[in-house]
Copies of this chain bind each other. A is one copy, B any other.
Amino acid sequence: MTFSEELQKRKEDAEKVIYAFLPPEEGMVREVSKAMNYSVRLGGKRLRPMILNETYRMFGGRGKAAEPFMAAIEMIHSYSLVHDDLPAMDNDELRRGEPTTHKVYGEAMAILAGDGLLNLSFETALKAFELEPDNKNIPEALRVLFNKSGLYGMLGGQSVDVKNEKALTDPDIKELEFIYENKTSRLLEAPAMTGAILAGASKEDVEGLERMARALGLAFQIKDDILDVEGDEKVLGKPVGSDEKNGKVTSVTYYGLEGAKEKVKEYSEKAVKEAAALSCKSEFLIELIKYLVDRDR
């Protein structure tokens, strides 16, 4: 199996798990359930649940506790996109080539669908208590997951990003790093750490995974900025040059194109180094890091 095939297989496996935790579209709450499911089913790489499952397995997890967490992290990711696309935020009409949730279900329903997914992510993760009653690490896994998605994680990053866009001032490099670390890295740290915590990994390994995912997130985000400059629209499936058009300050603004490429190399090497230093190895994880920074879309 090539790595691409492996990735496709793992994506499908992750989707099976995620979809099993989505609500039925029925009864009085049919409309909002449909909007919630639409948002999750819009797709994506399913990177986060894939990473969570991998770190759970590589540290010896063999139970069912990882599954609700895999679904939960994807619900958190989806909710953040639904709210991010709203007219009051980025006002995006398309995501992955499909109309965004508020374009299909209206703004009020999109707000509620996002809220519903965030609430459901918590309800879903809590199911780990039933699925692995003897697993003593669930409270810590919950703590880490929702710390990384909240005020001192993704949401905090989002709030600085919004503030900058609204103020129409250029963020300084410190702010930009804060935004990238929080908006992108935190939601990779969360699954990397949570899977390992659920499997009972050591503090040292969990911290190593945190550093790995932080570096991967930065490499991934800077790569995104580069693709927006020199990517191929046909391959990417979205217009390039949108950052410049929107007057958005990105890593390319600071480092220049070549400097940004250097940064991607630096951070991805750091991520690989951290992955290689863990007490349990995963070829897949290292391949995944390389794939994500070499991608052309």
Contact = CB atoms under 8 A, between A and B. Distances in A.
A286 to B, nearest CB: 32
A116 interface: yes
Interface string A126-157: 10010000000011001100110111100110
B162 A109 contact: yes
B119 A151 contact: yes
A237 interface: no
Interface string A80-113: 0001001111000000000000000011110110
B83 A115 contact: yes
Interface stretch (A9-17, A27-35, A45-53, A249-257): A27-35
A158 interface: yes
Contacts of A68: none
A200 B84 CA distance: 41
Contacts of A126: 139, 142-143, 146
A160 interface: yes
Contacts of A152: 29
Contacts of A31: 159-160, 163
A166 interface: yes
A38 interface: no
A76 to B, nearest CB: 9
A122 B112 CA distance: 18
Interface string A29-65: 1011100100000000000000000000000000000
Nearest to A79: B115
A31, A114, A118, A122 — which one has the most chain B CB atoms within 10 A of its CB? A122
Nearest to A142: B126
Nearest to A88: B107
A123 interface: yes
Given A139-B129, A159-B29, A166-B106, A151 B89 contact: no
Given A108-B166, A118-B118, A120-B150, A32 B155 contact: yes
Interface string A251-275: 0000000000000000000000000
B139 A123 contact: no
Contact of A89 (B28, B111, B147, B159): B111
Contacts of A162: 108-109, 112
Closest 3 CB pairs of A and B: A32-B159, A88-B107, A119-B150
14 contacts: A23-B151, A29-B152, A29-B160, A32-B159, A83-B111, A83-B115, A87-B88, A88-B111, A89-B108, A112-B162, A115-B115, A115-B118, A122-B142, A129-B143
